Amino acid sequence: MTVSVVIAAHNESAVISRCLSALREGGADLDITVVTNGCTDDTAEVARQHAGVRVVELAEAGKAGALNAGDAVAASFPRVYLDADMTLTGAQIHVIVGALDMPGVLASTAVRRMVTRGSAVPVKGYYAINNRLPLFRNALFGRGVIALSKEGRDRFESFPGVIADDLFLDSLFAPAKSARCRRWSPGSPRRATPATWSAGWPGCAPATAPCATSPPAPVRPKTRPGCATWPCRARGWPGGGLLRRDHRGGRDARAAGHRLGPRRVVPAGGRRMTPTVSVLMVSYRTRDLTVRALSALRESCPGTTFETIVVDNASGDGSADAIRAAVPTATVEELPENVGFGRAMNRAAQHARGDWLLLVNPDTEPDGDVVSALVAYATAHPEHGIYTGRTLHPDGTDDMRSCFALPTLRQYVAFALGLSTLGRRFRRLGPLFNPEELPGYDRTTAREVPAVSGCLMLIRRDLFTALGGFTPDYFMYSEDIDLCVRARERGARPVLVPEARLLHLGGASAGTSSRKIVMLLRGKCTFVRLRWTPGRAATARTLIAAGVGLRGGLAAMLGRKSPWREVWSARRVWLAGWPAQATEPALTRDSAPTA
């Protein structure tokens, strides 16, 4: 499907190149028209440098005239009207116009997020109030991008000579005063942010007719000044870019993530909405962190409908009750014993109803709409199967833990000789001596990676089910690498999505340093036992033991207190790996929650 994009530009030479370059990202089929109007700079020349862009020059300034001129030469529908200072990728544009496929939806736009970090206090206060007003939160105007279907565009002949073209379009898609619209969404109103407007939607009917598709319980219609009813629209539409306005210079949708994904909504009949994503989290003695992480997800990720499933690994600190109280909509299961990360995630997946599973650690907080960013990329690039983002230190730098290299003997030789420590300390030596953490990878651009971390992993539920979930032998660590290896054998190509960012405290439930190292080594030894030949696995364990002995021996010689001395003392434990477990029950496609 070809989408026509019309951009009216007046003296936009400083930003037009960025706008056009972003549109070409994602391989979308776009017919782009830039209409310069009354420009005194080189906007037209800059636009012509981008191949495949049609440029129309008008001597007279005026946005309405520019949009009409663009309409006259645009080749197809749907049609998108985009401001020149917007940065939206072609994939995001296709997600936004995807909402127009819903019955009765004639216009769609992006969800707006105001970024006021670094702005003056009055500016922050103004937009804090502005974002809470339905008039601004739910309207078409003020987004910088509006998509119309052919039927929607046929509602008017041409743009009138007014300043606010978006206000003009906004007025066209409000219902007549004789209509009565019942707002209904079975999802959380804080997450199901309205973003599409239509001339009619299930649950809306003329005042003289009964509303056959409204929910059984009465819902009071809401009104706004100047209109007898709330605008008739679809809540939680299945498409659209999450727009981020940055008052420090320009507007950028990518920095806040993307809005996304198919979602099934049943207007009536008592059935629950099927969420796009099931967010899975395992908690073990991280009560406050888990509650904070779940609250942050609700606040920071409004762009995608998701459910939350938490499995508590017998924390014994009231975690399950605290989570139920803080997030009443979450599915919470409290296990009688600690079964480890992978097996608890398998249990959580049995409750999931979403098409996607998003695994998130409780010691994290999203930086922007991480859910939408991941699913938007996955929707545009389904061939990868597994997706991760950037996990960051609190200061915003990469912690290098969201993706890994697959284990190799070379890696273990470097560890045995102590060279991996040098690779961590000296960046230039990292690719040679510390390949496990992929230090040479540019994490600011999307790229395929060998394996991703279970701290932040998006995977299609059907793929996870086909793999049987995580191998139950692992209690903790390396189960994510094992999963990626098996997924790659099925054709998956894990990928890092830089727009998805997560602040990661790291190891909040792992205990002391020596205890964590022991568990890490048990995971590594379990991986080589399960996935390598016996001879190669024995060599790997010998090299690992040599590396631990080297570090513990040096600490003893220097009289230093080091966790490696304790790890060496526990070598019989971790060299054996985690004990083999009985096969778990097969994961099912539609398992109902039991708690």
Check: CB of residue 118 under 8 Å from CB of residue 69: no
**What amino acid is encoded at 259 in this protein?**
R
Distances (CA, A) of 443 to 345, 379, 388: 27, 20, 11
**What is the rounded CA–CA span in Å between residue 229 and residue 181?**
6
pLDDT along the chain (595 residues), means of 10: 92 92 83 94 93 92 90 91 88 84 81 68 77 65 85 86 70 44 28 32 29 32 30 31 33 32 30 75 93 91 89 92 92 94 95 94 92 92 94 86 92 91 78 80 88 95 94 94 95 94 69 82 96 96 95 91 92 93 56 35
Whether 487 contacts 467, CB under 8 Å: yes
CA neighbor of 424 nearest in space, from 400, 455, 442, 388: 400
**Among the listed residues 310, 366, 306, the one whose alpha carbon sits nearest the alpha carbon of residue 333:** 310
Which run of H or E residues covers position 22? helix 16-23
Q: Are strands 386-392 and 456-460 parallel, antiparallel or unpaired?
A: antiparallel
pTM of the model: 0.57
Q: At what angle do helices 16-23 and 90-98 cross, to 10 degrees?
A: 70
Predicted local confidence at residue 163, as pLDDT: 57
Q: What is the pLDDT of residue 174?
A: 52
Residues 6 or more apart whose Cβ sits within 8 Å of residue 391: 364, 398, 399, 401, 402, 453, 455, 456, 501, 502, 503, 504
Give the whole-angstrom CA distance, residue 448 versus residue 387.
Answer: 9
Q: Who's near 283: CB < 8 A, 6+ residues apart? A: 290, 310, 311, 312, 313, 315, 319, 320, 323, 362, 509
pLDDT of res. 399? 85
End-to-end alpha carbon distance in the chain? 44
Q: Which pLDDT score is estimated for 125?
A: 78
C-alpha distance from residue 309 to each of 349, 399, 437 (Å): 8, 26, 29
Give the separation between CA 522 and CA 570, rounded to whole angstroms: 11
Nearest alpha carbon to residue 502 among 193, 296, 278, 295? 296
CA 351 to CA 593: how far, in whole Å? 5
Measured CA distances, 88 to 85, 140, 251, 318, 577 (Å): 10, 17, 9, 44, 47
The phi and psi torsions of 392 (rounded to 5 degrees) equal -120, 150
Angle formed by the axes of helices 90-98 and 370-380, to 10°? 90
Residue range 53-101, pLDDT digits in tens? 999 999 988 898 899 999 999 989 999 999 998 888 888 888 888 888 8
Beta strands 79-83; 145-148: pairing state: antiparallel
